[in-house]
Amino acid sequence: MREIPATAFDARRLPVFEPDPALWSRIAAAHLRRRRLRQWGFAAAATVLLGVAGALLVRAPQPPSPQWADAQRESQALEAEWRRLADGGRPTTIGLTRLRSIDAALQAAYDRGGDASEVVPLWQQRNEALRGLIARFQDANTRDASLVTRI
Amino acid sequence: MADGNPSSVSEIRAPSGFGLELDRVTLERARRGEMTAFAAIYERFGGPCYNLALRVLGEPAAAEDIVQEIFLKLMGSLRGFRGDAPFGAWLKRMTANATIDALRAHQRFRDEDPDALFEAMPALAADAEDRADAWSMLMRLPPRARAVVILHEVEGYTHKEMAELFGQSESYSKSILARALKRLNDVVAEPGSKEAMDHA
């Protein structure tokens, strides 16, 4: 380190000042205010979210009864099976009219907000109709197979 | 000093309080949000933050605003401090950034051309008392020139670091620093000044 020339601006001669002694308490108070505001903000946001979720739950359709849910699940499985068979077989419209009329009745029941006593029998009717369609496909396939064997 | 420039005080740096150590325990307690730990950090580093801001901005109220801003930010972001650099260096960078932002916000940064910056400034006609008073002389410089002098001469910023801070080339801060120090040293060396007479 070398000597500073006597004719040089010397940054070491700059005075060192102390901040206002109350500055830290002002900073700490501002921090606590911010933290409280954030906590209030979170609480308010959580309240609003809970309120919205509650309102949605009240307004949403009632969850189906176990019977309702079972019938609906069975219907989906039967429909998937029927579609699988229909894709590999000859197209047919036999039994479809009944299925369509049941679907329309189901839709109307849902639109009215119908309860389980109205909707569950309709799902059961739909399942019966689908079982009939599947049986027809299976019979037709069996007949085709026996015909091939005879030839 | 890394970048060798024409400063007559280039190898003699005024001590900066940012070089103080911060122990791990206090740092961990602060990371957990303990107010007593923040108070201990303020006790150690509040002064260096205040003096850096005050020397550049020249106004105690503005410097206190910077300190408040820095510490509030610190309380919210200390978890993000990875400890790669010393804590003081991290805090110094935050303070320098906030101070330069404050200069920009007050439109004290309008003139980007170093020539125009010094042309607009009256000559440093200091009286005998001012010549001996480094603070008064510093305050006669434009705020941007003060920022360059303080960051380089006191806080140890390189021109590369200042180029990033100011968003300018390295030659920009070199030019401002050379002119500012020449002005300051010309005043100190004026015949009849206390320093010149002592030297004689």
- What does the pLDDT read at residue B132? 57
- Asked if the structure places residue B143 within a domain, the reply is yes
**pLDDT score of A77 more than 80:** yes
Q: Is B14 close to A23, i.e. CB distance below 8 A? A: no
In a domain, B128, yes or no: yes
Q: Please indicate, yes or no, whether residues B136 and B175 belong to a single structural domain of this protein.
A: yes
Q: Work out the end-to-end distance of chain B between its first and last CA atoms, rounded to an integer number of angstroms.
A: 30
Token pair belonging to B73: 């930010």
B9, B51, B189: residue with CB nearest A17: B51
| Nearest in space to B11 (alpha carbons), one of A125, A4, A57 | A4
Same domain flag for B117 and B150: yes
Is there a single domain that holds both residue B45 and residue B86?
Answer: yes
Give the residue ranges of chain B where pLDDT is below 50.
1-13, 195-200
Range of the domain at B135: 111-200
What is chain A's mean pLDDT, rounded?
78
Same domain, B74 and B139: no
Are B8 and A34 in contact (CB < 8 Å)?
no
The dihedral sign for the CA sequence B92, B98, B100, B102: negative
In this structure, the answer to whether residues B98 and B118 fall within a common structural domain is no
Q: Are B137 and B180 in a shared domain?
A: yes
The residue in chain B having the minimum alpha-carbon distance to the alpha carbon of residue A30 is: B72
Domain end call among B60, B85, B106:
B106
* Interface contact A11, partner B, CB < 8 A: yes
B66/B40 same-domain check: yes
pLDDT at B124: 53
- What is the tens place of the pLDDT at every residue in A81-123? 888 877 765 556 667 788 888 888 888 888 888 888 888 899 9
Residues of A in contact with B150 (CB under 8 A): 11
* Cβ atoms of B150 and B58 closer than 8 Å: no
Record: contact B8-A6, CB cut-off 8 A? no
pLDDT at A13 over 60: yes
Taking the mean position of all CA atoms in its chain, how far away is CA B79? 26
Q: Same structural domain for residues B126 and B78?
A: no
pLDDT digits (tens, 9 = 90+) for A31-74: 989 888 887 877 777 777 777 766 765 654 555 678 888 888 88
Domain assignment of residue B131, yes or no:
yes
B136 touches chain A (CB under 8 A): no
Q: Which of B106, B125, B154 is the C-terminal boundary of a domain?
A: B106
Q: Which of A56, A36, A60 is nearest to A48 (CA)?
A: A56
Q: How far is B107 from chain A (nearest CA, A)?
A: 25
Boundary of a domain, candidates B73, B91, B106: B106
ipTM: 0.76
The pTM is what?
A: 0.61
Cβ contact (<8 Å) for A10 and B71? Answer: no
Residue B188 exposure: Cα atoms within 13 Å on the Cβ side: 26
pLDDT at B107: 65
Q: Are residues B127 and B172 in the same domain?
A: yes
Asked if the Cβ–Cβ distance from B150 to A26 is below 8 Å, we say: no
User: In the prediction, which pLDDT does A145 show?
Assistant: 55
With respect to residue B186, please indicate whether it lies within any of the assigned structural domains.
Answer: yes
Measured CA distances, B151 to B56, B114, B148 (Å): 9, 17, 5
**Number of independent structural domains in chain B:** 2
**How many Cβ pairs within 8 Å bridge chains A and B?**
99
Tell me: do B151 and B178 sit in the same domain. Answer: yes
Report the CATH number that the domain containing residue B82 is assigned in CATH: 1.10.1740.10
What local confidence, expressed as pLDDT, does residue A92 receive? 60
What DSSP letter does each residue of B13-46 carry, written as one string? PPP-GGG----HHHHHHHHTT-HHHHHHHHHHHH
Q: Is residue B147 part of a domain?
A: yes
Distance from the B164 Cα atom to the nearest Cα atom in chain A, whole angstroms: 23
Q: Among residues A114, A96, A11, which one has the least CA distance to residue B153? A: A11
For A78, the token pair is 């039967």
Distances (CA, A) of B12 to A2, A53, B1, B55: 7, 67, 9, 18
The CATH number of the domain holding residue B127 is 1.10.10.10
Domain boundary assignment for chain A: 66-150
